[in-house]
Structure 1
Amino acid sequence: MNKERVIMLSDCQSFYASVEKASNPQYSNKPLIVAGDPARRSGIVLAACPLAKSFGITTAETLKEALAKCPEVIVVRPHMQQYIDVSSQITDILRKFSDQVEPYSIDEQFIDVSGSLSLFGSPREIAIAIQDLIRKSTGVRARIGIGYSKVTAKMACDLWAKKNVDGIFTLTHEELPNLLWPLPISELFMVGRRMSAHFQSMGITTIGHLAQMPLSELKWRMREKFHKKCDIDAELYWRIANGIDDSPVSPSTYEVAPKSVGHQMTLPRDYYKLQDIKTIILELSELVCRRCRKLNVHGAVVSVGCQGASFDDPTGFSRQTTMSDPTNATLLVYEAALSLFNLHWDGQPVRRIHLSLSNLSDESQYQLTLFESRPRYRELERATDALKNKYGETIIGRAASFTDAGQLKDRSGKIGGHYK
């Protein structure tokens, strides 16, 4: 690829399911899926091994649907901490070949090997070495797309490497017109079903149609279509279609300071009583404020919202309010969030609640008041934070969290809503 960059995207096949099979050799030749707990109405397929997929099982369908397609499928509850550990292990493996490694998701990582070719061989040789090391170390199969930019590496992986027997594919600049451009517009990275339909209504049916269209014309067409300025979106799609992506592989991508801190909780049943809902809002306030204290920030804007269980007949709201002073004190955030909830809740049953704190700033910068009690609150909450960090979430908690409405005990055994 001449003097162009050599970027790779490593993607692990059916990651959660592959980790489970590697940990349980007795399942190696059996269809296996990773799914939630059906008793808690969270029985959604998170991952399916290739053998399970051959029965028509897909991710995001219900466990009931999966079992109807393959009654003998092995169902494993997710073990999120194990997946995170394996993902970190793969990151360490990639760093043996380059220090330029950027996690893209739990099972996808970019690696820039432009400066490693003289040490480890050709791009393909490096890809094979990476695959072998990941397989031997974790038992997981990696597919690797090779390109001259992050976006071409991503498309090389998604469109070809995942379908190849050896799981490796290289997309060069010279091959773009012959390989990428003839594909349907729906295959372009970042183009979903809805955007694909919009492009087709504009007469853009292939990736090549988009790539070869003058950028000025594409911007005009999108403005006409959406009745608003879409110049940035138009240029983004046009650049992707032409394989243009100057962004570097950056190990520090996810170390940027957050603009907001939030948490969402999906409840095991519909909550009808305000007293029960108040318990969840208090727990969410605790989670959000604890994270803020860990980041040494506080926020001035509280957002709260809820949703019902029905997707066909959606209910709920999302609102925000600005407090008089920024804070990361649990009770102050709770009071603001509860006031907001009481103002907008229509009494409909609640299945999902979210709460966030934004307009963040350094917690050491705050306005003193005449009767200042902030230092006392801070010392108390820092002490409880330290206890939880050392002994676990359930070592200390508010009484409301130990009622039937509370989710503290159940949540302490999960990561990202899934069991550890």
Structure 2
Amino acid sequence: MVDYNQLPKKKILCIDMKSFYASCAAVFLGLDPLHCYLAVVGNTDREGSIVLAASPQLKKEFGIKTGSRKFEIPKDPRIQIVDPRMALFVRVSTELTRLFHRYVPKEAIHTYSVDESFIQVDGVEHLWGDAREIAWRIKGDMEREFQLPSAVGIGPNLLLSKICLDIDAKKTGVAEWTYHDVEKKLWSLKPLSTMWGIGRRLEKTLNKMGIFSVGQLAGYPLELLEKKFGVMGNQLYYHAWGVDLSEIGAPIMQGQISFGKSQILLRDYPDPKEVRHVILEMCEEVARRARYHQKAGRTISLGIGYSRDEMGGGFSRSRTIAQPTNVTMDLYCTCLELFEEFYENKTVRTISISLSNIKDDCEMQLDLFQPNREKDRSLGYAMDAIRGKYGSSALLRAVSYTNAGTARQRAALLGGHKA
């Protein structure tokens, strides 16, 4: 049993803009975001392009949702299909954050994603009213000033405010959960993937353990969950009891465990030589991200996903090297070793690369057999400085100018989509 009297009882708002991309696009076109039929797709020129957002009415009447494909959208004259305008979406998101600043200081705001934010309103009730009144005020401001619909979940911590948003507030506009709602509302949740933080793969593992609802997870012995999942088992147990001690405004980099990059290729890559070209580009990006934070890592992971025409499948393998690195060619050589060892000579459609086992990049072990190691490291930082000043495409490797390269096209994107 958890003694809720010993836990902090904050007032945290989780604010979500409904179908944000689609709503922004609708408002820009002069349409009502709640009643128009509009889909934002990754690329309107490709029938297989993914739907990034669909207006509520399109979801309700035609079943089109995020993740659907363009060819699945009916040929109905009422439906508008548009390209993403990421620069516009990010600008609107920034303006909405400015709106939140009217009610609370910046330290009380955590931007979770471009369309979702957490706000802690403890201490400002004497100015704006209780948490529910503040939620309705913010919701009204967004609708009046931006014509954007939203929903707000309220809870004593980040976890319960988020789950309240997903379960109740998206139906009613504003809703609030307290610790008293855990047993009645949280424990009844199933399937488990409806719980924030539990994905499909973890759900399958828990199902095999006989756990199918959040209530069953809360009743499972803590020591067995910790034995199975380690620290994550502890978190799963206490989240099932509605306990979350996370603080708004905690540094995101604190506890950073990896730097990664994944990519769904725009076409199938049957030629392994072309796959190697993309791997080199992605190693460059992963190494750059590590250098940006002045970190290095020892464990390098490569994931390859095969095309649907090959009946899917693929592999994901890791290798740990002797010294921490953020040198592009170190990552590339290790990825090539993994690729040559596990690649099954099939058509490739997805690639993912990550660098983990992270350390501060403040020292380097000299190697008699790698006399240029320090020069290679310094060269990486010099290239990053040039790209930071003149743009990510200011310096590219030769493979980016081949038919296999994707870096030039991605340099023109914002958030992976058209700006």
Shorter-chain TM-score: which interval?
0.7 to 0.9
Percent identity of paired positions between Structure 1 and Structure 2: 31
**Partner residue in 2 for 1:12:** 17
2:26–2:36 CA contact under 8 A, matched in 1:
no
Q: Any gaps of 5 or more consecutive residues in structure 2? A: none
Aligned residue in 1 for 2:168:
160
1:50 maps to which residue? Answer: 56
More deviation, 175-184/362-371: 175-184
Cα-to-partner distance string for 1:154-175 (whole Å, 9 max, x where unaligned): 23222222112xx111224455
Is the 8 Å Cα contact of residues 93 and 114 (structure 2) preserved in structure 1? Answer: yes
Does 1:61 pair with 2:59?
no
Amino acid in the other structure paired with 1:404? N
How far the C-alpha of 1:307 sits from its partner, in A, is: 0.9
1:170-181 paired onto structure 2 within 5 Å = 170-174=176-180
Structure 1 match to 2:250: 252
Correspondence for 2:287: 289
Counterpart residue identity of residue 255, structure 1: M
Q: Residue by residue, what CA displacement relative to the aligned partner does 1:273-331 show, whole Å, maximum 9, x if unpaired? A: 22211211110111111112211122222222211122982232222223343222222
CA contact (8 A) 2:142 2:148 kept: yes
TM-score between both structures, scaled by the size of structure 1: 0.84
Q: Which moved more, 1:258-267 or 1:238-247?
A: 238-247
SS in 1 for 2:367: coil
Map Cα deviations across residues 356-402 of structure 1 (whole Å, 9 max, x no partner): 22222222211123463234324433332222222222222122211
Deviation at 1:106, TM superposition (A): 2.7
CA distance in structure 2 between the aligned counterparts of 1:302 and 1:196, rounded to whole angstroms: 27
Q: Which residue of 1 aligns with 2:26?
A: 21
| Cα gap change, 1:309 to 1:404, in 2 (>3 Å) | same
- Aligned residue number for residue 109 of structure 2: 101
Please tell me the root mean square deviation across aligned C-alpha atoms, in Å: 3.4
Residue number in structure 1 paired with 2:367: 369
Mapped to 1, the partners of 2:284 and 2:189 lie a distance apart of 49
Check the 8 A contact 1:9/1:154 in 2, yes or no.
Answer: yes
**Matched residues in 2 for 1:64 and 1:386: separation?**
42
Q: 1:111 pairs with 115, 119, 122, which one?
A: 119
Residues 274 and 238 of structure 1: CA distance in aligned 2, closer, same or farther (over 3 Å)? closer
Query: Which residue of structure 2 aligns with residue 276 of structure 1?
Result: 274
Asked whether the equivalents of residues 413 and 419 of structure 1 are also in contact (C-alpha less than 8 Å), the reply is: yes
Q: Quick one: distance in 2 between partners of 1:230 and 1:300? A: 23
Residue 355 (structure 2) aligns with? 357
Distance 1:412 1:113, change over 3 A: same
Aligned runs of 1:17-416 on 2, under 5 Å? 17-26=22-31, 30-37=36-43, 39-40=45-46, 43-55=49-61, 56-67=63-74, 70=76, 72-98=78-104, 99-164=107-172, 167-174=173-180, 189=196, 195=203, 210=216, 215=219, 218-219=220-221, 229=228, 239-240=238-239, 242-248=241-247, 250-256=248-254, 258-310=256-308, 313-370=311-368, 372-416=371-415
How big is each residue's C-alpha offset from its partner over 1:137-191, in whole Å with a ceiling of 9 and x where there is no partner? 4432221112223233223222222112xx1112244555666666766665556
Matched residue SS, 1:151: helix
User: C-alpha distance in 2, partners of 1:203/1:407?
Assistant: 43
The number of residues matched between the two structures is 406
Residue type of the partner of 2:221?
K
Residue 381 and residue 42 in structure 1: after superposition, are their counterparts in 2 closer, same or farther (change >3 A)? Answer: farther
Distance 1:73 1:350 in 2: 34
Q: More deviation in 29-38 or 115-124?
A: 29-38
Kept after mapping to 1: 8 A contact 2:40/2:54: yes
- The CA deviation string for residues 244-290 of structure 1, in whole angstroms up to 9 with x for no partner, is 33333x21352325222111122121112222112111101111111
Letter in 1 for 2:249: P
Shift of 1:71: 5.4
Seen in structure 2, the aligned counterparts of structure 1 residues 51 and 405 have a Cα distance that, compared at 3 Å, is same
Q: Distance in 2 between matches of 1:229 and 1:171?
A: 30
In structure 2, relative to structure 1, the CA distance for the partners of 1:204 and 1:376 (3 Å cut) is closer
Take 1:67 and 1:197, find their aligned partners in 2: how far apart are those partners?
A: 37
- The CA deviation at 1:100 is 1.6
In the alignment, is the contact (CA less than 8 A) between 1:279 and 1:405 conserved in 2?
Answer: yes
CA contact (8 A) 2:41 2:51 kept: yes
1:384–1:396 CA contact under 8 A, matched in 2: yes
Once the 2 structures are TM-superposed, how far is the Cα of residue 350 of structure 1 from its aligned partner? Answer: 0.8
1:76-105 CA-partner distances (Å, limit 9, x unpaired): 222334333333333333233223222333
Question: 2:67 is matched by which residue type in structure 1?
Answer: A
1:41 and 1:268 in contact (8 A); partners too: no
Deviation of the 1:234 alpha carbon: 7.2
SS at match of 1:393: coil
Deviations 1:101-134 (A, max 9, x none): 2233332222111211122212222112211333
41 and 295 in structure 1: CA distance in 2 versus 1, 3 angstrom threshold = farther
